[in-house]
Structure 1
Amino acid sequence: MSEANHEVTRSALDGHNAERTIDRREDGTMEQQQLFSLRAADEALDGTVEVRPNLWLMTSEDIPPLLFTVDETARLLSIARHRVFDLIREGRLRSVKVGASRRVSAKALFDFVATLEVEETG
């Protein structure tokens, strides 16, 4: 993708303009794609709309991380690094190995926090 298209993508992301489109060249043809995907929430009664960026049109710097280090996880949860390892060892926080390093997925982090909220209200 050309630098001009990257610039359009970045400027549209900065403004979160859902109607912004960019032209993308594939197999010698030009096609227009939406930078953001708008979907109505599943049968939501309040009329909310979910806005998701089109990951295929984003640069690697624009895509949020999928996996967090133990240190990043500790910072996000505002707990000590050794406590993250305790939660992993106890099976309360899911993690994966990448080489010799331990990583926590964004989904595992979300699920862990959701579990804490349920425990708090329950």
Structure 2
Amino acid sequence: MKWDKLKIDIKKGTDSLKTGMKKVVKQAVTEVDVLKLKYEREKVKRELSSVYQRIGELVFDIAAEGKKDILKDPDINRLFNEVSRLEEIEKRLDAEISETREYIKVKKEPQKEDSA
């Protein structure tokens, strides 16, 4: 009888440990996801900065040539489109970071109650 109870208790303990480990792993994965998203966002910001720099250089070159219709230049328009595309990607990444952080926050709340 005692042996059966001990086996049941060990099984419950093992199951509880597995559940706890799954929570820890999920938490770690979501934290890593946030870091990956932040890294991607920083890459986009660097690329965006580079495009802005290129626009400035082109505007200066076009103005130096004496051209007045700078906004009609196809290269400037292409770069403006690139800025729009990169800004959209940055917004999407910001939203994903916020959603992932909110998910982490919600997942942590029940753990606090469980340990109380």
Sort the TM-score into its range (normalised by shorter chain): under 0.3
Tell which structure's C-alpha radius of gyration is larger: 2
Q: Quick one: higher RCO (CA 8 Å, sep 6+), 1 or 2? A: 2
TM-score (norm 2): 0.22
Structure 1 or 2: larger helix share? 2
| TM-score of the superposed pair, with normalisation by structure 1 | 0.21
